[in-house]
């Protein structure tokens, strides 16, 4: 529990005697506690793990989702001897976690662990390891690389989407300016300034873009919620991200709506009034 930085918020940790004898005691995560007991107190209750009954002695502190999106609170801890004798039926250990003090080198710790495992498993000089020792720095490096690639791909897709959407808005506004040429000419003839006409079409472009952005945000959140349900991962939308997306919609409306608005503002009133 110390290695994985798991803290018990309610109840207690395992006694040494429970670890040695393989007692049928367990400590559960926050998600398990909520699913099984709701708002009730799970301490002292008995739950069933496959073929054994287990008494709840503690509840772990909530840790939320991991880097891979899995729920770290959906967990039940039992003494290893209990698992080996009553559930697994053997003494095999599939994975061991180890932590290193802050003032120690992880590379040296990794090398020491590899040497110790080779000695314990009887692996001779020149023979290949039949185990794997991974440093969290390696995992972090892999995750960073994957995240960078995914971020680049998503950014490219977003850029293309914004460009296509902006061109669509510009085309719609150009058609609108063409169809309303006579109306623009009348406004200019009765005293409207170029700035007022420019502002009018810019506002229309921004409103059109914001409506599309709002519908896109709703669709994106709905699809993300559906994906979270199917993949069984937490759905945690960020309000700041939504606001940034909404702001980008306004920026697209301003940038791609400026050219049609400027074209409308620079129309010659006389020529505009002649337009049929």
Q: Residue 182 has what pLDDT?
A: 85
Q: Specify which of 2-6, 36-40, 184-188 reaches the highest per-range mean pLDDT.
A: 36-40
Distance (Å, whole) CA 99 – CA 105: 11
Residue 71 DSSP class: B
131-171 pLDDT per residue, tens: 888 777 777 777 788 888 988 998 898 888 888 888 888 88
pLDDT reading at 2 higher than 70: no
Report the share of the chain in percent with pLDDT over 70. Answer: 96
Q: How confident is the model over 110-124, as a mean pLDDT? A: 84
Q: How far apart are CA 134 and CA 118, in angstroms?
A: 15
Mean pLDDT to the nearest integer, 92-112:
80
DSSP letter assigned to residue 69? S
Q: Is 70 helix (H, G, I), strand (E, B) or coil?
A: coil
**β-bridge pairing 25-28 and 52-60:** parallel
- Look at residue 8 and give its three-state secondary structure: strand
Say what percent of the chain tops pLDDT 90: 6
CB atoms within 10 A of CB 257: 26
Residue 68: the pLDDT is 63
Q: Tell me how far apart the alpha carbons of residues 91 and 73 are, in angstroms, rounded to a whole number.
A: 26
pLDDT 10s digits, 57-89? 999 988 877 666 677 888 889 898 888 888 888
């Amino acid at each position: 529990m110390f290695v994985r930085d798991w803290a018990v918020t309610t109840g207690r940790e395992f006694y040494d005697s429970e670890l040695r004898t393989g007692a049928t005691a367990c400590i559960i995560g926050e998600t398990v506690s909520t699913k099984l007991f709701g708002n009730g107190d799970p301490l002292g209750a008995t739950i069933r793990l496959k073929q054994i009954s287990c008494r709840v002695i503690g509840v772990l502190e909530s840790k939320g989702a991991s880097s891979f999106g899995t729920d770290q609170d959906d967990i039940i801890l039992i003494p290893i001897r209990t698992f080996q004798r009553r559930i697994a039926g053997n003494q095999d250990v599939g994975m061991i976690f180890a932590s290193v003090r802050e003032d120690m080198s992880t590379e040296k710790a990794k090398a020491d662990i590899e040497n110790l495992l080779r000695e314990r498993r009887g692996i001779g000089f020149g023979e290949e390891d039949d185990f794997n020792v991974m440093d969290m720095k390696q995992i972090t490096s892999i995750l960073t690389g994957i995240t960078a690639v995914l971020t680049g791909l998503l950014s490219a897709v977003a850029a293309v989407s914004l460009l296509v959407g902006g061109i669509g808005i510009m085309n719609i506004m150009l058609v609108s300016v063409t169809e309303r040429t006579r109306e623009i000419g009348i406004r200019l003839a009765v005293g409207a300034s170029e700035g007022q006409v420019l502002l009018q079409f810019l506002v229309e472009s921004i409103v059109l873009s914001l409506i599309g952005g709002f519908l896109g945000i709703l669709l994106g959140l709905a699809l993300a919620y559906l994906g979270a349900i199917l993949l069984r991962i937490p759905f945690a939308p960020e309000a700041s991200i939504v606001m940034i997306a909404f702001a980008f919609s306004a920026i697209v409306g301003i940038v791609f709506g400026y050219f049609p608005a400027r074209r409308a503002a620079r129309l010659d009133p006389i020529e505009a009034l002649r337009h049929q």
